[in-house]
Amino acid sequence: MDTLQLNNNVTMPLLGFGVFQISDLNLCEQSVLHALNTGYRMIDTAASYGNENAVGNAIKKSGIAREEIFITSKVWIQDAGYSKTMKSFEKTLQNLNTDYLDLYLIHMPYGDYHGSWKAMEELYRSGKIKAIGVCNFLEDRLVDLILSHEIVPAINQIEMHPFCQQKKLRTVMQHYDIKTMAWAPFAEGNNGIFTNSTLSEIGAKYGKSPAQVILRWLRQNAIITIPKSVHLERIQENFMVENFELSEADISQIESMNLAESLILEIQSLDEVYRLHEIKFEQ
């Protein structure tokens, strides 16, 4: 499996398995087991998903050594701040039945994320986290975080797919050697992405689906990706993207699909700020 070296020399897989919106815990556990048996070695979850326990159970049942699996989780807005982040992190470890995380992220750029980052720096230095990063941070808040603290985020997990390629943000991230991790690589099915003519025509040349073309495009751009599915055949299909390579012409065609705007999460919208702050849960 292809890997990527982060700015602190930690190595992580370029392809992982996401569990966002898999709220049925039995289904989540089974899906993670399918992913691990298929060959995935990176699992991405979050406190707010409510399925950390299911992920932990699947990892235990898989029989795969903990050190072979790269586990990512995230701290939610309600737990922003130093003390709350410390408490949420310990609960995450309990849920996942592990004594460390490979990657821990601030889920949203709201609330006291500076306090959260201070806690995460401390946890990182103690060895309880191998790498720390953020999600959904645009240029202004990302640079503000960097200039206010000692450790530069290793990852920024952002909406990233052919219709939203985040070129301006990725340029800033590249300057600070922050790697891109793509959530919603399939745009959550928006804009007819699975039947898109450009992606279908490219895929036909290699005997691949539009989804596989997207994942290959992301991989060739050194972007970490976490596709989600609860269907075994899709889980396996998404994993089979190492045996072909897109041409420069293919990549140019995909780049031409960029609409340069979010289709899913407009992070600076006041409506989104209100909506996301209202999401509460018991971890």
Binding-site residue numbers for substrate are 107
CA 218 to chain centre: 13
49 a catalytic residue: yes
Binding-site residue numbers are 107
Alpha-carbon span 108 to 121, nearest angstrom: 17
Strand partners, 164: 161
Question: Do the beta carbons of residue 56 and residue 255 sit within 8 Å?
Answer: no
Alpha-carbon span 13 to 239, nearest angstrom: 12
3 state SS of 66: helix
Strand partners, 104: 73, 132
Alpha-carbon span 136 to 138, nearest angstrom: 6
**Token digits of residue 16:** 């992982």
Catalytic residue among 40, 49, 104, 113: 49
Q: Known catalytic residues?
A: 49
